[in-house]
Amino acid sequence: MAEGSTSVLALEAVTLTLPSAAGPVNILRGVDLAVSPGERLAVIGPSGSGKSSLIAVGAGLEQPTSGVVRLFGQDLARLDEDGRARLRRGRAALVFQAFHLLPNMTAEENVATPLEIAGAKDALSTARQWLDRVGLSARLTHYPHQLSGGEQQRVALARALAARPALLFADEPTGNLDAKTAAVVADLMFALVAEVGAALVMVTHDPVLAERADRLVRMGDGRIEG
């Protein structure tokens, strides 16, 4: 498919069915989606509609039950878990609603870790620069539990973008924050994504935030409705 070769992310007829005590649950029911380089896409929809699973499948964190997922043109089904992890290194990043900072690492170590994993030599100094960019130069050696929710999400943003990825997945990035802090974090995210030229796939419940995207996709019952 021509679209797949020029897209940073392409999903073709993707389904995801997970087992549960009450029987299999269909999470995604045939999703087709393509994201172009630099494009900012918002995914909205009610709880349980499959938004977060879309990100999990797209980022290669979860394997679909059927269909094809291409990340940077690579068919993820052809890669094992380690292969998918290597593909993400420095190119695809994630930001989560629950921040998911590494609890035993300081802010600068959290930001430096993906750079180190990707083999960067000056990971810590790059991390400091990025924490300065998100306004946390005074919090370099603080641990996650010593930071507020907004600060933690800013660290998460710095961690995601420090390697200048081509694609950022953001799963409810402001969902755990109050309105004022959410606005600050959203501004920062859009500014930084624009600066590094990354594409953005953002799941959100917030219509205002969704409005800031280039394209909006609505999900319902595991399908893209429009």
Partner 1 sequence: MAVLSFRLASRELRSGVRGFRIFLACLALGVAAIAAAGSTAEAFRHGLSSQAREILGGDLYVSVENRDFSPAERAAFDGLGTTTYTAAARAMAEAPGGDRRLVSLRGVDGRFPLAGTVKIDGAPDLKTALADRDGVPGAAVEPALLDRLHLKLGDRFTAGPVTLRAGAVLVSEPDGLSRGFALGPRVLVRREVLERSGLLAPGGLSGRAVRIALPAGQDPRVVGKAVQARFPDAGFEVRDRLDAAPGARRLIDQLEYFLGFIGLASLVAGGLGVAGAVGAYLATREPSIAVLKALGADGALIRNLYLIQISLLAALGVAIGLVVGAAAPLILGRFAGSSLPIPALFAVYPLPLAKAGLFGLLAAAAFSLIPLARARSTPPSALFRRSLGGRVPLGLETLGAALAGAGLAALAVATAPTPMAAAIMIAGVAVSFALLWALGRAAAWGAGKVRRLVGGPARLGLANLAGPRSAARTASPAIGLGVALLACVVLIQSALLAQITTTAPRTAPAMVFTEIPGAQAAAFDAEVAQAMGPLTPETYLRLPFVTGRISGLKGQPVDKDRIKPGQRWAFDNDIGMTLLPGAPPSNQDGDGKTVAGQWWTPGYSGPPLLTLNAELADGAGLKVGDTVTLTILGRDIEARIAVLRRIEFGGFGPNFNVVLNARALEGADLRNVAIARLGKAQEAALTRRLGDSFPGVNVISVREQLDAAAGLFDRLALAVRGAAAVAGLAGLLVLAGAIAAGARARAREAATLKVLGATRGQILAAYAIEYGAVGLIAGAAGVALGFAAAWPVVVKVFEARWSVDWGGVMILLAGAAGLSMAGGLLAAALALSQRPAPVLRAD
For partner 1, the closer CB: 120 or 183: 120
> Which of 29, 74, 100, 184 lies at the binding interface for partner 1 (CB under 8 A)?
100
Strand-pair category, 167-171 with 40-44: unpaired
For partner 1, the closer CB: 106 or 211: 106
Residues facing residue 168 across a β-bridge? 93, 200
Asked if residue 82 binds partner 1 (CB under 8 A), the reply is yes
* Stretch 28-67 residues interacting with partner 1 (CB under 8 A): 52-53, 56, 59-62
Asked if residue 108 binds partner 1 (CB under 8 A), the reply is no
Location of structure tokens 């390697």: 163
CA 212-216-221 angle, 5° bins? 135
Ramachandran category for residue 48: left, alpha or beta (phi over 0 → left; psi -120 to 50 → alpha):
left
Which of the stretches 84-92, 134-142, 185-193, 194-202 binds partner 1 when contact is defined by CB under 8 A?
84-92
Which residues here bind partner 1, judged by CB under 8 A?
A: 19, 52-53, 56, 59-62, 81-82, 85-86, 88-90, 93-94, 96, 100-105, 109, 113-114, 116-118, 159, 171
